[in-house]
Chains A and B, each alone.
Chain A
Amino acid sequence: MKLKSVTRSLGLAFAMAAGLASASQAQTLRIGLAEDPDVLDPTLARTFVGRIVFAGLCDKLFDIDEKLNIVPQLATGHEWGSDNKSLTLKLRQGVTFHDGETFDAEAVKFNIERHKTMAGSNRRTELTQVTSIDVVDPYTVKLNLSAPFSPLLSFLTDRSGMMVSPKAAKEAGERFGSKPVCSGPFKFVERIAQDRIVLEKHPGYWNAKDIHFERIVYLPIVDATVRLANLKSGQLDFIERMAASDVPGLRSDNRFKLAKITEIGYQGITINIGKSDLAKGNPLGKDVKVREAFELSLDRQGIVQVVMEGEAQPGNQWVAPDNSFYAKNVPIPKRDVNKAKQLLKEAGVTNPSFTLMTPTTSDAQKIAQVVQAMAKEAGFDVKIQSTEFASSLALADKGQFEAYVLAWSGRPDPDGNVQQFYTCKAPNNYAGYCTEEMDKLITESRTELDPKKRVAIYEKIAALAAKEKPVVYLYHRHWLWAHTTKLSGLRAVPDGMVRVQGLKFN
């Protein structure tokens, strides 16, 4: 009898402890990341995964919603000047940084100048058109531009719009990233490289009513299988970038929910048509008919099925077909092997062969193998050259490639997916594509503010690009998130960020 009562009280004790543990656990959100972020300084940061942490740490001037509309965050309103060469922002009042400093127009001026002038800043190209900043009053700031610049607002929804505490930034200087001080819902506690990043609730957050956790812990776990295992065994509440192959298995497990949305980036094959002499050395780089034949030999839906298990949207432009800036005048071509063969004959080319530089990531490898098999049917001999990602970048930069499997993470404004790739001598223009007409069109698309007129310009850009085909776009991935059913309030925004406002445990 004694044993029974002892066991019972032990059981109770355990239950209480477990209850306490889960109660305190219920206050901590554990998110599994696919990589370890780089430096946590919005001015210097350059990785996608770092932005996920920023979503909890640093608020920005504007944010985007599920439909890619611009919505207020630290700025409550905006107005373009009469000549479109200035942007006036109205700022939110009552916002404090994590160190207690007040957020105001001076802080915005400091931050924008920091983004523009700090050594090693990765935000400079996004803000080149901003020539000066005027503090109109404590909560109004005016950005003066050298020319009208429509993508500016969208840049202010990302790191260029993130505001750090001027006091902390001045004190820390270069080392700011090791102890960032922002104004987001959570403040920085600690970071152990490749292990975890811990944030805790910022009591003075302006939107405190939407925040339902005490702590967030970001845990980078590179291997997707292990990341999912952690979710399944209960050590994580949420994981990002689940592997497509795990989707069917997770669907049948009713402890977890799946969320997905099409990304704003793309996966494609960049062809060297003018970056270096190698362009002239192979039939693909020389003749646009051969490139057209190559594109026609591909079955995009098939590639999506095999490589991404259907978890992607086939596409042939830098934005997805359901994006408002998609050029409807250049639809996705259907696979047509016969036409491809005919085009090759017209071009006077038999059994064209080229080397496809493929990074050693699993997606790129799969794409290359599928493309190789599909193009073979039209007579192409595609040689796969596996290259470590770091090396492939250096090679592409020098133009030492014929074709390159390359993805782009995407920007909310279509300009972010086009300008750096099609403008002459732009840093990301690995194809070496350069025409005066395209440069003119791109400048037009950036200075035109009316969305409808911009769509018309992008239609012209798409038609022009289709004439040369420097990039064969393949598809747009689905962001795949998995989380415990105890979590609700997740907003699936195409930029792939995990927004913590509204997220809570049931």
Chain B
Amino acid sequence: MFNYLVQRIGTIVPTLFFVSILIFGLQQLLPGDPALIMAGEDRDENVIRYLREKFHLDEPLPMRYLYWLGGVLQGDLGESLRIQQPVTDLILQKLPVTLQLAAMAMVIALIIGITAGIVSAVLKDTAWDYAANIIALWGLSTPNFWLGIMLILFFSVWLGWLPASGYVSPFEDLKANLASMIMPAFVLGNAIAAVLMRHTRSAMLQVLNADYVRTARAKGLVERVVILKHALRNALIPIITLGALEFGTLLSGAVLTEQVFTIPGFGKLIVDAVFNRDYAVVQGVVLFTATAYITLNLLADLAYFLVNPRLRG
């Protein structure tokens, strides 16, 4: 097991290296000249020249990569071309926002997904099975930006119950914060719910037919207790680890959800940065989230290993 651990950790560095090359290359090779965009409408040649120098835009690609990498290894992710703030500052500002959104979305996804999965597995092939399927699949099938706009129209404009957009820090006003996050969290969580439902269902089905469950049934326990106690406990492990892995999907979904609801998190930051050719921001944020994702993966693997005695040794 120790060997396995060492092996796994050993893969992190090369993976991150490739991530850095991938995202750096994708950004720098984008058509369009950031100095031109930065110089604004007036296109002063002095400004363009100054910006090119400041951000090493005229140097060959490998040199620029090394400048950037050097900075990264010292903890400096560069500066946003657009508002001239350090990328690390921006990340620290927006991390709590996206984290809260992701956490709330995960909770909603777990509630919907696990419930639907249980219902679908226990009441297999009945109308409840299909209904649960459709509800969970609905989230995967609707474009999240679309769902977001419809929800805003319904709950903000027509009913006036919830704010249409914006973000309030939970430390400032918890109620307003929850009110502004509930719709985007729902939109995000919806999509993941389907994935969780599927896995819950299959895990439940497997476990429901297992020997020890049949033994419990034979012992005469009430069916419900049997299901919930034994099956769920064992089915939960892969589901939770899957939840951790879905972090990547959450971030992907957050991109458009934050755009529609104007939540100042990572997703919105990245999209705007791509269109503004704000290289440092995209590179820095993607590197950061990739590192987080890989770490989470590792932790999930570890947890899985530790919890499942059959795989140890």
Contact = CB atoms under 8 A, between A and B. Distances in A.
B32 A221 contact: no
A390 interface: yes
Nearest to A428: B43
B31 A394 contact: yes
Interface string A34-75: 001111000011110000000000000000000000000000
A407 B149 CA distance: 29
A226 B260 contact: yes
Contacts of B40: 38, 45-47, 122
Contacts of B272: 36, 194
Contact of B83 (A193, A226, A391): A193
A44 B84 CA distance: 10
A389 B41 CA distance: 13
Given A122-B40, A194-B269, A427-B43, A223 B262 contact: yes
A281 interface: no
Interface in B144-185: 149, 152-153, 156-157, 160, 163-167
Interface string A6-41: 000000000000000000000000000000111100
B140 interface: no
A428 B83 CA distance: 23
Contact of B41 (A192, A232, A391, A408): A408
A88 interface: no
Nearest to A125: B44
Given A194-B272, A394-B32, A427 B262 contact: no
Interface string A218-257: 0111110110011011110000000000000000000000
Contacts of A225: 149, 152
Interface stretch (B46-54, B113-121, B194-202): B46-54
A1 to B, nearest CB: 31
Contacts, number: 141
A120 interface: yes
Interface in B13-49: 30-34, 36-47
Contact of B84 (A39, A121, A420, A428): A39
Given A221-B165, A225-B149, A397-B33, A122 B42 contact: yes
Nearest to B84: A39
Contact of A235 (B45, B83, B163, B261): B163
Contacts of B167: 195
B32 A230 contact: no
Nearest to B155: A233
Given A223-B260, A225-B149, A193 B166 contact: no
Nearest to B44: A125
B44 A226 contact: no
B236 interface: no
Interface in A202-221: 219-221
B116 to A, nearest CB: 30
Nearest to B34: A390
A120 B33 CA distance: 16
A388 B163 CA distance: 32
A394 B36 CA distance: 7
Contacts of B47: 120-122, 124
A193 B85 CA distance: 9
Contacts of A44: 84
Contacts of B43: 420, 427-428
A408 B43 CA distance: 13
Interface string A150-190: 00000000000000000000000011011000000000000
A270 to B, nearest CB: 14
Nearest to B269: A194
B241 interface: no
A124 B47 CA distance: 9
A389 B167 CA distance: 28
B84 A174 contact: yes
A175 B259 CA distance: 28
A393 B32 contact: yes
B44 A122 contact: yes
Contact of A119 (B50, B80, B156, B165): B50
Given A177-B83, A193-B83, A390-B275, A230 B268 contact: no
Contacts of A391: 30-32
Contacts of B252: none
B14 to A, nearest CB: 32
B238 interface: no
A218 to B, nearest CB: 12
Given A120-B50, A233-B160, A394-B31, A46 B39 contact: yes
Nearest to A232: B157
Nearest to B149: A225
Given A47-B40, A120-B51, A124-B46, A38 B164 contact: no
Interface of B: 30-34, 36-47, 50-51, 54, 80, 82-85, 90, 93, 149, 152-153, 156-157, 160, 163-167, 259-262, 264, 268-269, 272, 275-277
Interface of A: 36-39, 44-47, 119-122, 124-126, 174-175, 177-178, 192-195, 219-223, 225-226, 229-230, 232-235, 388-391, 393-395, 397, 408-409, 420, 427-428
Q: Which 5 A-B pairs have the closest CB atoms?
A: A46-B40, A427-B43, A195-B264, A390-B32, A229-B164
Given A192-B93, A232-B164, 12 more contacts: A46-B39, A121-B47, A192-B264, A193-B90, A194-B269, A194-B272, A220-B262, A388-B32, A391-B30, A393-B36, A408-B41, A427-B42
5 contacts: A39-B83, A45-B40, A229-B157, A230-B165, A390-B276
